[in-house]
Structure 1
Amino acid sequence: MQEKRIKYIEFSDSLRSLKIYASAIKTFRKYRPEKSNSESGGILLGYVYNRYDEIIKATAPTCLDHRAPFSFIRSKIPAQRKINISWKKSKGCLIYLGEWHTHSEIDPTPSSTDIEMIEKTFKETKMEIDCLYLVIIGLNNTYWVGRKSSKGLVELTKIN
């Protein structure tokens, strides 16, 4: 089966929209639950604009990550290295925007562990923006996308 080629998928709420580009989606599809017995994940890198954000890169899991059928714990050292390299090469424009991982369910939703992780990451990360994104990829290329800010974790709605 050939998969539909898309430029980006867009999610939004009343405050901001988020475009996830094909380059990141390609990584999600490579590690989607149907392709692996373990959860996968990585970091999200992209650009920030006045009314929207763009995720253009999702990093692949590394051998230092903990991967199991119902959990994924990203290793900080290789992720931070990728963030630093991207930031430096882009002269400070391509930045860390959040986390992604897979769930083996048709309609993925964040677990209590996922919520604790994004809240802790938001609190501890020194960022140039006031939010982080959490993307969870489920079976059949389904998505749960949320934005964590000081006001809480809000689910975004797919608009295309």
Structure 2
Amino acid sequence: MQSILSPRLQYLSERGDLHQIFFSKKALDDFEIAQKNTMMSDENGGIILGIIEENSLYVESITSACVKDERARYAFLRQDEKHLEAWSSINSDSKGRIGYLGEWHSHPEKNPSPSKIDRKEWTKIRGELGAPLLFIIIGAETMYLEGIFKEHV
């Protein structure tokens, strides 16, 4: 199975800004595990942790489903405190350099796209935290990635 992520993604915004997203080997390996299980398991998900630098995001690690999360074939709801504990621990160990970048989850389909529920949750997170944010949906063959780098003025 070929990985659906590359170590570096880049694109130009409508305003001509170059945005880049870099993935650590650990993050790529964790996403690959999620990809392999997408079609056979309940949805998986968690938070994305990394570093923000100007127009670049560096994804260092992700959390995955924990015991108290709600998982179903077509639903994932992050509820376990272990995600926040992991975030706090990594943030402390990195002296505040590594923080929350966004959310990820899987969809049991080849080419995922956000559901209305996904969009509603992402809008809520954006309202609470602002930009930059990263949202990823892992499918069996492709992934959906939405990066929000700057708020529109």
TM-score by length of 1: 0.80
Distance 1:83 1:48, change over 3 A: same
Alignment correspondent of 1:25 = 28
Task: Tell me how far apart the structure 2 counterparts of residues 42 and 11 of structure 1 sit (CA, whole Å).
Answer: 23
Alignment correspondent of 2:133 = 132
Q: Given the alignment of the two structures, is residue 8 of structure 1 paired with residue 7 of structure 2, yes or no? A: yes
How many residues in Structure 1 have an aligned counterpart in Structure 2?
145
Q: Given the alignment of the two structures, is residue 50 of structure 1 paired with residue 49 of structure 2, yes or no? A: no
Aligned-residue Cα RMSD (Å) equals: 2.2
Q: State the secondary structure of the residue aligned to 1:139.
A: coil
TM-score by length of 2: 0.83
Q: Which runs of 5+ in 1 are unaligned?
A: 152-160
Distance 1:18 1:106, change over 3 A: same
Q: Given the alignment of the two structures, is residue 37 of structure 1 paired with residue 41 of structure 2, yes or no? A: yes
Task: Tell me how far apart the structure 1 counterparts of residues 55 and 103 of structure 2 sit (CA, whole Å).
Answer: 20
Tell me which amino acid in the other structure corresponds to 1:84.
S
Q: How far 1:73 sits from its partner (Å)?
A: 0.4
Q: Given the alignment of the two structures, is residue 122 of structure 1 paired with residue 126 of structure 2, yes or no? A: yes
Tell me which amino acid in the other structure corresponds to 1:113.
I
Tell me which amino acid in the other structure corresponds to 2:123.
E
Q: Given the alignment of the two structures, is residue 146 of structure 1 paired with residue 142 of structure 2, yes or no? A: no
